[in-house]
């Protein structure tokens, strides 16, 4: 079912549930009952009874249009605010291209929908299984899904071929996670496996309305007068696949667009780049200019019109537009005429050109960049949207998750503390880095010869291995520690039941590491059913003895981001009832009993010690339960689990009752190593002027040490720490008054913010003050984000080079991102790899997902996806900067060429009595943007390069020009407007004034169409040559596009003026070009007018480069005498990891090709080939203007060449 890839990212036609629907739904399976208000009733195996209700079918559609809506809806979405007549041709072409693109994309969606809707599934009809297409499936049907098959709808799991009603599913299509999940049918329904038994099934399901929450489900099954609670464990979602199970039988609950996967199938929130929003302002300014020009012409027309100009024939019967008796009407009608005449000032095709450029940049440059290809996982970079390419070149703030983003998310059990004793002898990378900063030399710790080496286990301490723990001072606590690791989890074992061959399917790498550690300590978890866990325990009763022990799992209190802990209630074979709990130290410590006094203190010290070494810690605790206590609690637990409303909240409240008076066992410390290249990447990005914030759920010590290891924080920085772990706050927390706790923390945060803000101002006013870093934890951040304090937090944060927020929730991550995005109006980028990073990724201007080990939810919500954090360097400093530079040039050039062209028409209006007479033929005006100047600007948008890729990374400071928006300021637009104004005057007056005397052999004067054709020729030639002066690098494609555009004009005018039809208007241009080209005047004007027009630009570019250079121009001058340092030779040798198609593409990319003729000089143009050829040792004929270039050469270069 490859089609699921598209389903995930396509837009659901039904984005939410029907607001008119009742609050719950009843699925009736087997018997007919009257429809009850407030419930949705569905009859099983009786489709006629279901017909009156008209439930939604199982067919899905992800297309944007249908046959009837394509044209109206497509035109509505594509239409630009332009005026018709002269703009019909360019507008039609623009709309045609856009609609073809939309139609092609929608056609692909339609084909994908068909393949999914026509897939077959077994359905129970007349007491036998029949295969029907998915689209014919209905709510209430009993279905059978085979191994490796996909679930066609959201299904209630009734029975499966595995013992104990268990099945295994893979949810990769929902969240990208490939580890298997366990689902368990209710015991009452295990027998409904055969068609004969399934047809006897009678039951009623009361459940929630359709919603998009993948991980929750609330419902009850009423069967044989019993009400049984349903949870997500009994629901099989559409899009998931069945694994390790021969087949299952289930009842359809939600179909089609009401399934959870389809309700999640929304597009990533539409984002527009900052440059595009500024472009909108420029377009508005152009509309303002258009209105002003029309207003001037209209008023002047009303003043000029007069019957004294007898030769105009303004008699009594003249049409209203030229009737001097009603000057207001004349002005009004002229206004509308001029709007049409001057509407070319609005660049209709600009948006389509930019969209095309961005699309090619994304698909051909970003997606195929081998520098961002990760060979180990065979993962290339992926631009999921092309709207934000140039935004990558202006990012000032990066918000990064820690685990899996800065680190590898490959967890290894490294150290532990049991009963107040630390075990484990290794030294982490972060400890080594910290020692180096402090100038301390650490001795290398050598592993013992018999240390166990295994994925997820990097522990070495003989005191715990191979049963040696029995000789420790507190062996009973060690036993509880190992049993807690082996029992308190949701891991699934796969493969042979032997320690060497078993593989664990875990929800997170931490879980897998902890169970692997238990195995290596002699407590091997090898099998599980929904109600039991089997553990092979070694050395418990005596050394060397191995025994299989079965633990009955009575209740599982699952981990979530609010609880930050997981508990299991289990019964030992001897009847002992124990609650095992593991979780974050902050939540476990709050629930400990009074018997833990000294142990609490020692373990807290160990936790801080592990945290400072950059290790991830979890606390372990247990509680012995009496039978009476458990029975009373279990009743409440079952009630909460059966609740249809606020089930999660009630379960949390019930869990609080039993998760108290815990006995502390110890804590674990897991190492998550840094990703390759992270420190150097962060250092490079910092040099580029980008500020990096780390937002993590880890505790403060771990976060600070990771920040040190990443070069985010160093000892030279002044650190501002705002923490809730102070003695004053702890005292108040021990008293337990929540109102008092809130008041004290808020006052403390307010005082800290004020104090640090004053200190920051003092440091900023000193010349050589230190860089500043802010560290704040989640509790304090909650109060700092309060309306009264967020302004102070923002001001302090913006003055800091680095900010670390620890113990933060997913919501707080998004709030911090929005604070900087909206409060500081800076361009932000969020990068993360897990589901908890989705809100942060969507809140930022640009979201980047890491395709790591925590599933694909971050990638699915992102704008760009990369495999490693270090690839940000290429994504931002190379592709982002180039895209920003190119798009700026495209926009300003479009503005220039349209304004220049329109102003020539404006000057002509002054000589026509403001009558609205057009200067150019309609077809000239229509094809100017579409053919004669279209291709060269796209080539610049794709291939222009100021400096090479390697230099972009060698000098990251170049990126600051994007942050400052140096290339699209109003000043830059003003300079282009000035030269447009100048050039339009040159085109109009040079051509009209010079053609006022007879030019041909017959002594005839040139007419309007001769003059306008000459002027238009000069405009086309000049704006295309101006584009070459704009380029930093010139390739064969530049030459082909510019020459092709000029030739296209001549070919068109030869054909257009050489053909005359009976339908031509009187003002035709028949034979004009042939008359013009028969005169010497044409060739003289053809050479001199473009030179005169470009002279001002030529001088300006030279002066600007010599006296006011941009940063990239300085780098160009530094490297102008060196050949282009292509980084192809530096590419990783990844050919062996590529598919045959990829290997072929790679080989083609290595073939010799024309190098960009990067000149590194202001006057980049084709006239200097001879000079550059001589620099390469190649003979080329000298040209007179090369003397100017040689005169500007540095004497040192000449000396060097002589040697």
The alpha carbon dihedral of 79, 80, 81, 83 has a sign of: negative
Q: Taking the CA atoms of the chain, what radius of gyration do you get in angstroms?
A: 37
- CA 684 from chain center: how many Å? 21
Residue whose entry in the numeric block shows the structure tokens 């979780």 = 583
SS3 call for 971: helix
CA distances from 870 to 175, 643, 1135 (A): 24, 48, 21
CA separation for the pair 805, 695 (Å, rounded): 5
CA separation for the pair 285, 486 (Å, rounded): 69
- CA 426 from chain center: how many Å? 38
One DSSP character per residue, 31-89 reads S--PPPTTS----TT-HHHHGGG----S-----S--TTTHHHHHHHHH--S--SGGGHH
- The HSE-up count of residue 590 (CA atoms within 13 Å, CB side) is 13
CA separation for the pair 275, 883 (Å, rounded): 11
SS3 call for 528: strand
CA separation for the pair 1073, 1076 (Å, rounded): 5
One DSSP character per residue, 542-553 reads STT-EEEEEEEE
- Spatial contact of 381 and 864, defined as CB atoms under 8 Å apart: yes
Strands 407-418 and 120-125 turn out to be unpaired
CA distances from 294 to 320, 322, 907 (A): 18, 17, 12
SS3 call for 1048: helix
SS3 call for 507: coil
Q: How many CB atoms lie within 10 A of CB 1189?
A: 17
Strand partners, 131: 122
> CB-based contacts of 84: which residues, under 8 Å, 6+ apart?
91, 340
Residue 401 falls in the annotated catalytic set:
yes
**Closest listed residue to residue 205, CA positions, set 215, 184, 219:** 219
Q: Residues, the chain, total?
A: 1203
CA separation for the pair 1157, 1169 (Å, rounded): 9
CA separation for the pair 327, 321 (Å, rounded): 9
Q: Catalytic one among 401, 585, 752, 1010?
A: 401
CA distances from 781 to 63, 402, 695, 816, 874 (A): 43, 18, 11, 9, 33
DSSP assignment, residue 17? -
Angle at CA of residue 630, ends 626 and 635, nearest 5°:
160
**What's the farthest any 2 CA atoms get from each other in the chain?**
125
**Closest listed residue to residue 926, CA positions, set 82, 79, 91:** 91
Structure tokens at 482: 């190992």
CA separation for the pair 604, 617 (Å, rounded): 11
CA separation for the pair 842, 1076 (Å, rounded): 60
CA separation for the pair 283, 891 (Å, rounded): 10
CA distances from 355 to 75, 274, 331, 928 (A): 17, 15, 39, 20
Q: Where are the beta strands (DSSP E) in 161-202?
A: 166-170, 181-184
**Which residues participate in catalysis according to the annotation?**
401
């Amino acid at each position: 079912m490859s089609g699921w890839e598209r389903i995930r990212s396509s837009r659901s036609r039904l984005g939410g549930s029907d607001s008119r629907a009742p609050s719950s739904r009843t699925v009736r399976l087997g018997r007919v009952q009257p429809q009850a208000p407030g419930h949705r009733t569905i009859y099983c195996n009786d489709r006629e009874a279901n017909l009156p209700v008209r439930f939604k079918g199982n067919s899905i559609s992800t297309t944007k249009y249908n046959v009837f809506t394509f044209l109206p809806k497509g035109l509505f979405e594509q239409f630009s605010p332009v005026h018709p007549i002269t703009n019909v041709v360019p507008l039609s072409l623009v709309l045609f291209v856009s609609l073809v693109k939309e139609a092609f994309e929608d056609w692909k969606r339609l084909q994908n929908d068909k393949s999914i809707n026509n897939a077959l599934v077994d359905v129970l009809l007349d007491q036998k299984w029949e295969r029907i297409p998915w689209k014919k499936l209905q709510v209430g049907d009993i279905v059978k899904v085979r191994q490796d098959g996909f679930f066609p709808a959201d299904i209630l799991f009734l029975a499966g071929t595995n013992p104990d009603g268990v099945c295994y599913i893979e949810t990769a299509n929902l969240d990208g996670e490939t580890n298997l999940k366990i689902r368990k049918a209710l015991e009452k329904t295990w027998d409904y496996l055969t068609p004969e038994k399934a047809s006897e099934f009678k039951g009623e399901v009361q459940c929630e309305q359709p919603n998009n929450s993948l991980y929750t489900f609330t419902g009850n099954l009423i069967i044989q007068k019993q009400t049984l609670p349903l949870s997500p464990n009994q629901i099989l979602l559409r899009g998931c696949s069945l694994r390790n199970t021969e087949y299952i039988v289930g009842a359809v609950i939600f179909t089609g667009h009401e399934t959870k996967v389809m309700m999640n199938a929304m597009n990533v929130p539409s984002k527009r780049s900052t440059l595009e929003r500024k472009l909108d302002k420029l377009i508005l300014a152009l509309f303002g200019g258009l209105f002003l020009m029309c207003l001037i012409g209209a008023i002047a027309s009303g003043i000029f019109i007069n019957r004294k100009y007898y030769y105009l024939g303004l008699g009594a019967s003249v049409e209203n537009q030229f009737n001097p008796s009603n000057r207001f009407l004349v002005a009004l009608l002229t206004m509308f005429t001029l709007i049409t005449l001057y509407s070319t000032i609005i660049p209709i095709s600009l948006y389509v050109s930019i969209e095309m450029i961005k699309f090619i940049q994304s698909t051909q440059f970003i997606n195929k960049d081998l520098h961002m290809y990760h060979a180990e996982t065979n993962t290339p970079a992926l631009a999921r949207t092309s709207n934000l390419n140039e935004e990558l070149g202006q990012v000032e703030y990066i918000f990064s998750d820690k685990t899996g983003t800065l680190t590898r998310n490959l967890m290894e059990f490294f150290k532990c503390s049991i009963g107040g004793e630390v075990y484990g002898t290794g030294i982490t990378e972060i400890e080594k880095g910290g020692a180096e900063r402090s100038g301390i030399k650490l001795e290398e710790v050598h592993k013992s010869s018999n240390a166990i080496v295994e994925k997820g286990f990097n522990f070495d301490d003989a005191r715990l291995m191979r049963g040696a723990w029995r000789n420790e001072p507190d062996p009973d606590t060690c036993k509880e520690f190992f049993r807690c690791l082996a029992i308190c989890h949701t891991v699934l074992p796969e493969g042979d039941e032997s320690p060497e061959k078993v593989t664990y399917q875990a929800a997170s790498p931490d879980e897998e590491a902890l169970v692997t550690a238990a195995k290596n300590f002699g407590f091997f978890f090898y099998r599980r059913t929904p109600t039991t866990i089997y553990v092979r325990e070694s050395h418990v009763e005596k050394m060397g003895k191995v025994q299989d022990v079965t633990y009955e799992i009575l209740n599982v209190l699952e981990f979530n981001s609010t609880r930050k802990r997981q508990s299991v209630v289990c019964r030992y074979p001897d009847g002992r009832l124990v609650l095992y709990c593991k979780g974050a130290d902050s939540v476990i410590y709050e629930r400990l009993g009074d018997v833990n006094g000294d142990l609490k203190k020692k373990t807290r010290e160990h936790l801080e010690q592990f945290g400072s070494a950059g290790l991830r810690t979890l606390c372990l605790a247990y509680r012995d339960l009496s039978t009476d206590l458990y029975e009373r609690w279990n009743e409440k637990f079952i009630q909460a689990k059966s609740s249809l409303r606020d089930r999660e909240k009630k379960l949390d409240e019930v869990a609080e009752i039993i998760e108290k008076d815990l006995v502390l066992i110890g804590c674990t410390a897991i190492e998550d190593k840094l990703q390759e290249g992270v420190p150097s990447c962060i250092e490079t990005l910092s040099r580029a002027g980008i500020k990096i914030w780390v937002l993590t759920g880890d505790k403060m010590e771990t976060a600070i040490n990771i920040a040190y290891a990443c070069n985010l924080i160093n000892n030279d920085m002044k650190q501002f720490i705002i923490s809730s772990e102070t003695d004053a706050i702890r005292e108040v927390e021990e008293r337990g008054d929540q109102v008092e706790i809130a008041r004290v923390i808020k006052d403390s945060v307010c005082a800290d913010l004020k104090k640090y803000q004053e200190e920051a101002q003092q440091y900023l006013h000193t010349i050589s003050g230190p860089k500043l870093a802010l560290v704040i934890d989640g509790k304090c951040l909650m109060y700092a984000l309060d309306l009264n304090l967020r302004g102070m937090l923002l001001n302090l944060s913006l003055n800091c080079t680095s900010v670390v927020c620890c113990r933060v929730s997913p919501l707080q991550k998004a709030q911090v991102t929005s604070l900087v995005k909206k409060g500081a109006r800076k361009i932000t980028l969020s990068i993360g790899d897990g589901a908890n990073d989705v809100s942060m990724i969507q809140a930022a201007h640009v979201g980047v997902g890491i395709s790591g080990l925590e599933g694909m939810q971050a990638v699915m919500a992102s704008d760009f996806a990369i495999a490693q954090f270090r690839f940000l360097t290429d994504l931002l400093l190379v592709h982002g900067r180039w895209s920003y530079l190119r798009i700026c040039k495209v926009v300003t050039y479009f503005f220039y060429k349209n304004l220049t062209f329109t102003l020539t028409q404006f000057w002509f209006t002054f000589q026509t009595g403001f009558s609205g007479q057009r200067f150019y033929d309609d077809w000239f005006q229509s094809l100017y943007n579409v053919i004669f100047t279209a291709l060269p600007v796209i080539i610049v948008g794709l291939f222009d390069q100021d400096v090479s890729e390697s230099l972009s990374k060698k000098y990251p400071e170049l990126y600051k020009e994007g942050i400052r928006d140096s290339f699209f300021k109003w000043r830059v637009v003003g300079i282009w407007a000035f030269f447009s104004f100048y050039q339009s005057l040159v085109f109009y007056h040079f051509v009209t004034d010079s053609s006022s005397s007879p030019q041909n052999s017959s002594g005839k004067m040139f007419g309007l169409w001769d003059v306008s054709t000459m002027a238009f020729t000069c405009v086309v030639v000049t704006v295309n040559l101006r584009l070459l002066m704009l380029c930093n690098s010139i390739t064969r494609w530049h030459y082909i596009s510019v020459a092709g555009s000029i030739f296209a004009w001549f070919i068109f005018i030869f054909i257009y003026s050489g053909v005359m039809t009976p339908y031509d208007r009187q003002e035709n241009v028949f034979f004009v070009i042939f008359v013009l080209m028969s005169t010497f005047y044409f060739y003289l004007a053809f050479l001199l007018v473009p030179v005169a027009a470009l002279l001002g630009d030529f001088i300006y570019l030279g002066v600007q480069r010599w006296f006011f250079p941009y940063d990239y121009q300085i780098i160009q001058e530094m490297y102008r005498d060196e050949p282009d340092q292509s980084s192809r030779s530096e590419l990783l040798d990844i050919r062996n990891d590529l598919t045959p198609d990829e290997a072929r593409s790679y080989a083609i990319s290595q073939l010799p090709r024309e190098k960009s003729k990067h000149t590194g000089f202001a006057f980049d143009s084709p006239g200097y080939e001879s000079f550059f050829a001589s620099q390469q040792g190649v003979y080329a004929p000298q040209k007179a203007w090369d003397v100017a270039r040689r005169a500007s050469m540095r004497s040192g270069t000449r000396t060097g060449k002589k040697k």
